[in-house]
Amino acid sequence: MTTHNNPKILVIHGPNLNMLGKREPEIYGKETLDDINHKITLKGSEISLAVETFQSNHEGAVVEKIQSAMGNFNGLIINPAAFTHTSVAIRDAVLLLDMPVIEVHLSNIYKREPFRHKSMLADVVTGQIAGLGTIGYILALEAIADMVQKPK
C-alpha cells in the first residue's frame, strides 16, 4: 500500500517514551518525543516516505497498531521500550507482518542491566539499532527506505 506513490512507514514508540526529555536524560537525552517525531517525519519526506508515528504505554494498543499495519504500511520501525524484554504478544504481532521491521533503542540495551539484554523481538525483526540515540530512528528510516523502494 502506498500513498501518493510514497511507501508508508509506521513508527511505534512504546511505554514511557512520551516522557523523553524528562526521563533519565543522562541515558535517553534531552529531546522530547515530539522532537524525535518531527525529525522522523522530516527525514521521511526527504527520502519519499510517508511516515505515521504512534506511542502508547499500553501493550494491547501497541499490538493492535502492529496488526493494523497489515495491508496498510510497507514497513515498521518499533521501539518497544520496556516491552522489548517481556512481550510475547508484541513479538507474535510482529510475526504477522510481511514487511521489513526494524527494532530501535535509544540506549545500548546490551550495556545496561542484565534483564535488558534480552529482546523478545531480536530474532524476528529484519534488523536492530541500539545505542545511537535519536539518530537510530533516522538510520532505520534510511535502511527501510532502501528495502521498500527497491524494484522487485
Report, as residue numbers or ranges, the catalytic residues.
Answer: 28, 105
**Amino acid (one-letter) located at 36:** I
42, 51, 60, 76 from 86: Cα distances, Å = 32, 27, 13, 19
Asked if 111 and 141 count as a contact pair (C-beta separation under 8 A), the reply is no
- Sign of the C-alpha dihedral computed for residues 55, 57, 61 and 62 taken in this order: positive
The answer for 29, left when phi > 0, alpha when psi is -120 to 50, beta otherwise, is left
Burial 91-117 (b: 16+ CB within 10 A, else e): bebbeebebbbbbbbbbebeeeeeebe
Cα-based torsion angle of the residue sequence 61, 64, 66, 71 in order, rounded to the nearest 10 degrees: -150
